[in-house]
Amino acid sequence: MSVHRPSEGRGPGRHRARGGAAPGRAGPRGPAPGPAPGPSRVAPFRQPVALAVPGDEAGFERLRRHRLYGGCDYPGYLRRTEVRLRALRGLGFDVRVRLLEPAAYESFCAARLLVPGDPVAQAAYAADPAWAGAALRYTGGRLAPLLPLLVREHGERLRTAAAREAPPPPPEALRRAARTFLALAAGAGRGQHRAVLVGGAPPGRPVAEAGLDAREPGRLGADAAEAEAFCRALAQVLVGARPAVLLLYSRGAAAPAGERAVVRGWEVRPGGALVPLAPQVLRPQWRRSGPEGFCPAAAGRAFRPPEEPGRPAG
């Protein structure tokens, strides 16, 4: 009777099948596959979409001349637009909002040979940041809180472009503008202030802004770049023939949130003299739509700034 003897060096459990591989070694078909990959942690891509919206009722009415918006009024238009934006968010789009500024939109259409009343023109304008400016992400709420931010960004872009194109003012005009700015700061008193220079013919659009922080006695804080840009714009007014108005928005040194600000105004005369304006002369839009955090503001009586900082006039 024959007895099967295992080969030397091969004990139980070390038998290798024909064509196979020893445990722990790669076979002819490569290593054994690893565990299945888990779910990806990369956030899903959301297609961006932008919509341009008029920033105020005046702009809305001007755009209606191009047969936009049908018979809807401005509050109704905003409500309908909010419904549309929420629907786009519900479909998974990354929704952004830009400002539809009438003059810029009309210039865009003229440059692109588009018809302003065509929805294609509105979509093309909203998708072009070079014309429509910065975009704010829409998160599903009301549009009203976003509109002042878009209007402010548009104004800053216009002022920056105008400052780049304007020739430098004469040194004497720049020095006079700086003295006028410091005189205004000296007469403003303690508090948080924002000076706004309104130019044009007639005066309408802000051309420069600068903040003044006088909350601590004897100390005046101001952003150097902002103050320099303000003085350059004021100097351009002093050497030009166009009228200008200087507005000062003020809040108390320790004003709580929600406390109403006060706006005061001066006519800027040639040479830099500031002539106080009566409260009833201040335009309603200057009280409603001024610097962020200072509006709406109550019209206040303007003081007569000292001719030199720290010295009363007359």
Give the pLDDT band of residue 78 (cuts 50, 70, 90). very high
What digits encode the pLDDT tens for the residues 88-137?
999 999 999 999 988 889 999 999 999 999 989 999 999 988 888 888 89
* 71 has pLDDT over 70: yes
Which residues pair with residue 265 across a beta bridge? 247
CB 185 within 8 A of CB 306: no
Q: Could you read off the pLDDT of 162-184 as tens digits, one per residue? A: 666 667 778 888 888 888 888 88
% of the chain residues with pLDDT over 90: 21
Q: Are 248 and 304 in contact (CB under 8 A)?
A: no
Query: Contact, 211 vs 151, CB < 8 A?
Result: no
- Residue with the bigger pLDDT between 50 and 239: it is 50
Q: pTM of the prediction?
A: 0.51
Going by pLDDT thresholds of 50, 70 and 90, the confidence category of residue 156 is: confident
Tell me whether strands 191-199 and 136-137 are parallel, antiparallel or unpaired. unpaired
Count, residues in the chain: 314
What was the pLDDT predicted at 74?
92
Contact 185, 212 (CB under 8 A): yes
Taking only the tens place, the pLDDT of each residue in 14-48 is 444 444 444 444 444 555 555 555 554 555 567 88
228: closest CA among 178, 184, 166, 179?
178
